[in-house]
Amino acid sequence: MAEITAQLVKQLRELTGAGMMECKNALVEANGDLEQAQVVLRKRGLATAAKKAHRATRQGLIGSYIHPGAQLGVLVEVNCESDFVARTEEFRQLVHDIAMQIAAADPQYIRREDVPAEVLEKEREIERARALAEGKPEKVVDKIVEGRLNKFYEEVCLYDQPFIKDNTLTVGQLIASKIAQFGENITVSRFVRFKVGDRAGAESPAGA
C-alpha cells in the first residue's frame, strides 16, 4: 500500500476541488496513484449527480463572456439549488468557464435530449449513407453510425463537449464534479451566443 501523504492529498484537492476526506479516500482506493484517484472522484461525482438530478434548481447566476475584440459574446444561465452556493466564488468561476466554453466551442444544444428528432434522423441517414459508400459491411453499419453520432453529440451538445480547460473532461463531467463538491444539483438552462455579422444567432433550448 502506497503512503498517502498530506502533500499528495493537497495536490489532488488542488486538481479536483474535492474535499480533503474525499481526496484521501480516493487516493487510498487508487493506491496512491494521482491520476487514478482523479478517475475515482469523477465516477463518484457522476453517481452523486445522478442521485441529485431530479432536484429543482431555482437559484443561480447569469454569466457573460466577451471575447477580446468584442466581436463574440455569450450570456448563459446556470442554476443551482440555493442562493448560498450561487454566491460562492467557485460557482461564479464555473459559470464563467461555461460561458467561455460556449464562446469557443459554439454548441447548438445543451444536452443530447435537446437535439430535435428530425435533426438526429437526418444526421443518422447521412452517416448511414456515408458508411455504405465507404463499403462497410451492412451488418456493422448501424454500429458505425451510432459511433459517429456520438462524435456529432460531442460537436453540438454542450454537456458532451470536451472542456476547453481540460479536454480529459466533458462539460457534463465538470458539472457533475461540482454537484459532488457543492452537494447541490446544478444545471445549465439556456444560453445565447452572439457573433458580429451572424444574424441567425445561436440561442439554446431552455429545457433545464
Task: Supply the pLDDT for residue 1.
Answer: 56
Model confidence pTM above 0.95: no
186 and 107, same structural domain?
Answer: yes
102 and 63, same structural domain?
Answer: yes
Task: Supply the pLDDT for residue 143.
Answer: 86
179 and 101, same structural domain?
Answer: yes
Task: Supply the pLDDT for residue 159.
Answer: 96
Residue 35 belongs to domain with CATH number: 1.10.8.10
Task: Supply the pLDDT for residue 69.
Answer: 95
Task: Supply the pLDDT for residue 88.
Answer: 95
Residue 174 belongs to domain with CATH number: 3.30.479.20
101 and 17, same structural domain?
Answer: no
103 and 13, same structural domain?
Answer: no
Task: Supply the pLDDT for residue 17.
Answer: 65
Averages of pLDDT over each 10 residues, the chain, 208 residues? 81 75 86 86 68 80 95 96 94 97 96 93 89 84 86 94 92 89 91 86 45
Task: Supply the pLDDT for residue 107.
Answer: 97
C-alpha cell at 188: 445549465
